[in-house]
Amino acid sequence: MHNDTNASADSSASAHLRLIQCVHQGSTRAALVENEHRVRLTDADTYSLARRALESGKPLAAVVQDSLTGETLDYGELVEQGQLLPPLTHPDPAHCLVTGTGLTHLGSADTRSAMHAASNSDEAEMTDSMRMFKLGVEGGKPGEGKIGAQPEWFYKGDGDCVVAPEAPLPWPSFAEDAGEEPELAGLYINDDQGRPHRLGFAIGNEFSDHITERYNYLWLAHSKLRACSFGPELLIGELPAHLEGTSRITRQGETLWEKPFLTGEANMAHSLANLEHHHFKYAGFRRPGDVHVHFFGTATLSFADGIKVNPGERYEIDLPAFGRPLRNPLATPDDDEGAVTVITL
């Protein structure tokens, strides 16, 4: 199955719209970003607007425009008052699935040099990770109507693992590391026939435990079962092929670490269509009405530079094309390890 990701937003004009969600008078409302200081409320949340687009056959951008009210809000005040939400949520968090793909970006010159060196060596001596990366470089961007190489894939959780922009990222007491991953996230909704539709993209922090992952790649699944965040803005429209951003760690306004990163298809081994196909080919991910948040990978990590993030320090991921940066502080480790008890009859 070649998934239908020709969402309403994808057929809109080349101009981009940026949408947030916030708490307003006790309910979840979507709002159009008019500038860095003001947002204009719509009459519904993002999920409801997307459903309207699917039911009416109109582009999502047109539905957003039709839903605008006369009320504007101060963007900065929403941040200060903790009113920002992820830009797409499902009314039932169990019907939002959060997943991702890795080894998707071409990365730095050093990474590419290592790949070329490995490709000239005996195939049997390559690591599984390097072999997967090589498959993507050679077959991740298939021609029209063809299916490319499968990427690495992982599951993070349902909508309960998503933390709102500006809110603290929880740190499980059993975790070895609390490392950011600056990524693009694709946001999707399935229609009533189970066909997936892409609404747009957001900045994502695919928060992971890199020490656990480094110890043994078979622990990758464990390392990914963590919280994450995306937003604050949903970019509706075509994704630029080349995107330049900055990932940084700060404490009380002081930058402790900072590094530029590249993303967009021009900087990836896989096409977005190929990554989407290999996710939505599974019938279980085409359940009618479900929301999907899918992280597309990165090549830039503070962990690779020996950085250990501590409670109170803040992750900031800035992609200018997406408006306001995604910011989340790191929370103090919790002590909830989910002890099992026996039900007695």
pTM above 0.75, yes or no: yes
- With 70 as the cut, is the pLDDT of residue 309 above it? yes
Task: Collapse the DSSP code of 63 into the 3-class scheme (helix H, G, I; strand E, B; otherwise coil) and give the result.
Answer: helix
Contact in structure between 232 and 162 (CB atoms under 8 Å): no
Q: In the predicted model, what is the mean pLDDT of residues 38-46?
A: 98
Q: What is the pLDDT of residues 205-233, one digit of tens each?
A: 999 999 998 898 899 999 999 999 999 99
Mean pLDDT of the chain: 90
Confidence of residue 123 (pLDDT cuts 50, 70, 90): low
Q: What is the pLDDT of residues 185-204, one digit of tens each?
A: 999 999 999 999 999 999 99
Distance CA 311, CA 269 (A): 34
Distance CA 294, CA 290 (A): 13
Q: In the predicted model, what is the mean pLDDT of residues 65-71?
A: 98
Supply φ then ψ for residue 266, to 5 degrees: -65, -20
Using a 10 angstrom Cβ sphere, with 0-12 exposed, 13-18 middle and 19 or more buried, the burial of residue 331 is middle
**Confidence at residue 248, expressed as pLDDT on a 0 to 100 scale:** 98
**Confidence at residue 114, expressed as pLDDT on a 0 to 100 scale:** 39
